[in-house]
Chains A and B, each alone.
Chain A
Amino acid sequence: MLERLAAFAEKFTGPAELRWHANHSVAAAIRKGALVENSQSRASGISARVFENGVFGFAAFAEEDDAALTKAMETARSDAGFMKGRSATPRELARPQAIGEGRFDYRSPRPAATPKERVEILKVLDEAARAKYPELVNVDLSLSAHTSEKALATFEGARAYSYVPRAVLSVRMSLEANDGLVELYDARGGFGEIQDQDFSLAALSSWLDGLHEELRRKAEGGQCEAGEHDVVLDSDLAGILAHEAIGHTCEGDLVLAGSIAGDNLGARVASEKITLGDYAGRGPDGKSTFAIHVDDEGAVCRDVTIIENGVLRGFLHSRRTAAELGAEVTGNARAFSFLDEPLVRMRNTAILPGKDRLEDMIAAVDHGYYFKRATNGQADLTSEFMFGVSLGYEIRKGKLARGVRDTTISGTAFDMLKTVTHVGDSFKWSGAGNWCGKKQPIAVGTGGPAIKCRIRVGGRA
C-alpha cells in the first residue's frame, strides 16, 4: 500500500498527505458470569488532506483502490477551495525539520490469541474471582486489544508504515457497603498484543487479591473532606496530571485559542523539582504503553521538554501551529482513524523522576491524602484541571489511615505545581495505557513518579 500511496503523492503540487489507516480491535467482556461482548473489528480506508489557500481539505473513503485515491484527492482539493478567502490563517505550513521514513512494526512474533483463548482468559479469572470473593455484588472483566496500522506518503516525501498494538485486561469489582455500593477498577497489560501479555490466573492472582483488599478498605472508609489539602499523588495520578494539567494547556492549537500557557513561555510555572515532557518513540525509558516515530503529517517525532526544572520551555506542534507560533514542528499531529484529520495530540507525556522516597512523602504529611488511582480527567485553557480519583487513603500524622471513597481533585496547574515539595525516585507508566478525547479518541502514554503537593479535593465531609 505504501508504494501505491507514494506514487499518488507524487501528483500533489503543494502540502498534502495520503494515508491508509486500519484499526484492528477485539473486545470480550464477562459480566457476572455472562459473556456480554465477544467481537472482532476492522475498520480501514484511505484519506487525503491538502492545504490550499490557507484551508485544509480532507476526504476519506472506505474503498482502497486507485479510483478511491483519486476521488479522495479531488474531493479534498475541492473542499479546500470551497471556502476560499475565509481562512483562519492564510500562512504557509511549517516544514518539518526531518521528514519521516521507515517501518515501525511492533507486530507480535507469537501466534495471535484465538477467540477461544481470549474467552478462556476471562472465564478463568471470572470463576476464580467469584469463587474467592463471594461477597462481591459484581465482577466485570473485559479484554480488549487495539492496533493502529497505517501507511503515510506526503508531498514533502515522507514514506512511513507503522503497526502499534496495545492489549488491556480490566476488572471492576462492586461491593455493598453500609451506605451503598462501592466499586474499584484497575487494568493490566499495555504495549503489545494479547499474546504478548501474561493474563493467566497465576500471574494475576495476587493483583486480584490486592484489588479486593483495597476495595474492602475503601468500603470501610469514608468521604474526603472538601477543601485544599497536602496530598501524595502516586505515579498513576502524576502521569494523568502531566497529561491533563500541563500537556493539554501546552498543545499548540490551545495556545492559539488563548491558553494561559501562551503568556508564560520562559516563566517559572512549577517547582524546580519538576521536569515534564512529551516524548517520542516509547518514551525516555523505552517502556511506554504507546509508540510513535512519525506523525500523521510526515514529521519525525521528537521529544518536547515542556517544563524544565520548573520553567515552561516548549509547546506541542503540528505544521500549522508551528508556523503560526514561529516554532519548530514537533511531530504531534495525530489522527485516530482513516476518517479523521490529524490534530495536535500528546504522545507519551510524563514527569521525570526525582530523588525522594514515597515513604518520606507520606511521612511529611500531617493531615492529608494519598491518592493511588485516577479515572477520567479534563483540562482548561486557564490551566485549571480536574481528575477523578477511585482509590486513596487518608494520611494522619505521617501514616496511612482509612480508605476514602471516590472523589475529584482539581487545581490550577501553574499554581499547584509550585507547591510540589517532593518528586519520587521511582518512575512508572500509568496502568495499561490511556485514551485521550479531543474531537477524536487517541491512545496515549502517561507516566511519572509519585509527587507531594497541595491540591483541592472534593468531598462531602
Chain B
Amino acid sequence: MGKKKKKNRPGKKAAHGHDPVRKAGEHLAAGRFRQAVDLYKVLCKTDRDGFLAPLKAAYEGLYRQRLEKGLFEEAAMVVDQLEKLSGGSAFHERVKLYLKREDYPKAADAAAKVLSAPDRNSDKEAVTAADALVVAFDPVPAESTLPAEVRQDLDRIRSALESVAGGSRQDALERIKLIGTRSLFASWKWLIKGLCAFYGREDEKAVAAFEKILPDTAPAAAAAPYQRLLQKDGWREADAKDTRLTADVCVAAGCGAAAEDLARAEYLWTVKRFRDSHAHLRRTIEDFPTYSRGLVRSLTELYYNTCFEMPPKPAQKYVKHLVRSAFTGKADNTTAQIWAQRSLALYSEEYEDFDPIILEHWEKFIDLYESRNGASPRVRALVYGRLGDLFAEEMPDDNPFSFFFFRRRRKEPDLRNIELARHCYQESVDADPQAFQPQVAQVAFFEKIGDTSRVNRLLDRLIRQFPDEKEVLFKAGVRCSARKAYVKAMNYLERTLALDPMDKVVREQFILTCIVAALQYVRKNNPEKARALLPRALEWSDAHSDDFNRGRAYLYARWTAMAHLLNDQADAAQLWGQAMAHRQGSELKLHFFYWVVAGSYGVALPLSKGSEAFVEKSLKGAFSADTALDCILTLQYANLLSGWISGLRRKKDRVERYLTRGASAEMTRQQVGTVVNFALSEECSRPDIAEAYVRRMLKRNPDDALFRYYRYLVRLQAQPGYGHIDHDRRELETILRLSREQQETTVTLAVQKLLRESDAMPPSGGFGGNPFFDIDDDFEEEGMDAEDDDFLPFFTSPPEKPTPKKKPPKKKPGPRGPQQLNLF
C-alpha cells in the first residue's frame, strides 16, 4: 500500500501564514528559488515595492539553476519574467542564455541592439554585449547600427585573436595597439596581451596583463587557467576538485583533446585512487604508456614511477595493478608490459628478499624489451651490470652492538650474494664484450672479494682492449704497485697522467710509487736509479703544497733520508738544502717529518739527530697552537707509515705532555677541534687531553654541537656502556638538534648513525647499566653555562674503572680524521 500524502497540513500552512516573509527569505538563502519565487509573487501583490528586489533575486537564482541544468526553455521563460519585472533589462541573462544554447547569431544580434541604443546602457550590460560580439565571431552586418568605434575595436580584437592562434604574436599586439583602456574591449586587449606574453615565455608580463582584466567577464574566465598555470606554487590538490578549471588548463596547455580525461584522472589521483586514475588513462588515452616524447611520456613516467614514492604496502598493490593491467586486456600491449615489468623489477630491488626473484623479474624485462626492440646487448649489459652491483653490495654488520664493542672489521667484506653477483657481472661482460664499463665493474667486484689473480688477468686484458682508458690505466698502475712491479706501475700511471695531468689522485699515486720504487733501489744499493726517480716525482708534485705526499719539500726530505741510507752525505746535504728552500710549512714540521721518515726508512739515528733536536727544542719552548698542530699532523702521518719507528712512542708522549700545557692557551675553535680529534684517536694515550680541551670549548659555548659531540665520544671512550641509557639518548638528540641549527653536517650524520645504533640496542641495562650517570645527573640539563663548574667531573671515570690511561680496544674516530693518502 502506497504512502498517503498528507494534504493541507495545518502546521505547515500555519507557518507560511504566520511568517511568509521569513519563509521566503529562508528559501532564497537556501537556494530553493522556485519556492522563493512563489512566496515573493504573493508578497508582491501586497507590497510590490518592498518585495520586487527579492523576487528578482529569486528569479535570477532560478535562471542560473535552470541554465546549469541545461533546461534552456525554462531558463528562457524565467528571463521573460525577469524582463517583465524590470522593463526589459534582463539583457545579461538573455545573452548568457543564447551563448549557453550556442546560438551566437542571436547573442550577437541582442548585443548589437544593446550597444546601438542611443541611451547608454549600464557598464555591465555593455561589457557583456561586447563579450558576446567577440565570441560570436560572425561578421557584423553592414546594416548594423553599431557605433563605428565599437565596430573597429571588435574587428581588431577578433583579428588579434586569430593572430594569437596562428602564432603571430607581434601582429596581434599591433592590432590591439589602438584599443583604448576605456574601451568596452579593454579586457580583451589585456587578455590578448597576456596570451602573447604567455606564449612568448614572458611570464611576469603575462601575469601583470591578466591582472588588469575586469572580473566576471569572458576574458577573465579565459585568463583563469593561464593564471593557474603561472602560479608559482605548482598544481594544488584543491584545484583538482574544479574539473572545469582542470579542463581549461589542459586547453591552455595545448592538450585540449584529452582535457576531460586528464581532469578525471587528476580527480582520481587527488582522492588517492591511483590505480583507478591509471586505469582511466589506459582506457582513454590510446598511446598511454609510451616511449615517445611528449606529455604522454611525462605521464607515463609519473604513473610507472610513482610506486617508488609510496609506502611499501600501497606500492605493492599499485605495482600488482600495473602488471595485471598490462598483461591482460589489449592484444598488442608490449609497451605497457615493458613499463610494468620495469616497475616490478625496480620495486623488487627494494622490497624482495629472495635475490633470484629479482634476477627473474629483470630477465623477463629483458625478454619483453628485446621482443619489441630486437636484440639489445647494451640493455642486457646494463641490466646485468646493475644486478651485479646490487648483489655485490656490502651487507651491513649484522651485530648492532659491534660499535659498542669496538669490534674490528673483518678483512673481507660480507657481500649480499657473491654467486649471483659473479654470474651477473659475467653475463654483463658476455652481453657486450666491447663495452668498457661492465668489465671495469667486474674488476672492481673481484677486487672486492680479494681475487687478485683474476683482477690481474682482467686488467691485462682490459689494458690490451682499452689502451687509452684512464680508469683502466690507473687501476693497472695501482695493481702493479701493490704487486711491487713499480716500473710497470709508473709506466701505467704516467700514461694515465698524460690523459689527465690535473688529476690529483693519480699524481699522488704516481709520486708514492716513485718513493717506494726509489726505496727499493736504495735497498738494492742502486743509487743512480733511486736518484733518477726524484725528478720524475718532482714533476708531478705541487710546488705550493704543504702536503706530506705532494709537497716538494717533503719529497726532498725523503730523498735526503735515502741519500743517508746510501752513505752519500754530500748529496744528502744538498737535498736537505733543497728541502729547506722549498718549504711551505713550518721548519718544525719539516724537521719532524724528516725525523719520522728517517726512522721509518732505517736511517741511523745520529743522521737525524739535528732534526730531533729541533723538535725537542720546539716542544720545550712556550706553548704555541701552531707547534701543537704541526706535531699532531706529523704524528698522524707517522701513524699511517708501515714499520716500527724508533723513539716514536716517546715522541708521542712528549707531544701529549706539550698538549696538556696548552689546554688553556689561546686557540681557535678549529685548532681545538684538531687537538680533540687527535686526543680521541688511537695514537693518543691521554684521554684527559680531550676532556680538558672539550671542557674549555663548552665553557665558551655550551651549545656548541661539535664539542658536545666530542664530549659524548670522550664519555663513550671512558665508559663503553655509555650511550645506552635514556639520558645519553636525550643528549644525542640535543646534539642532533644543535648540529642541524649550526649546520654541522658531519656531526649530524655521525649522531644520526649513533641514534640508529642505539635504536637497535636491547632495553636499558643490557650492558650492565651505566654507572657513569650515578655521579653526573646534570647531563640532561640544557642550559649548562651557569652550572658548568658543577659539571666538571663529566669525564671522571667511574670507581670500577680506576685506570684512565688504559688504552681502549678501539676508539671511535672523530668526524674530522686525517685525509692523507699513504700506500706504504
Do A and B come together as binding partners?
no
Which residues of B are interface residues toward A (Cβ below 8 A)?
none
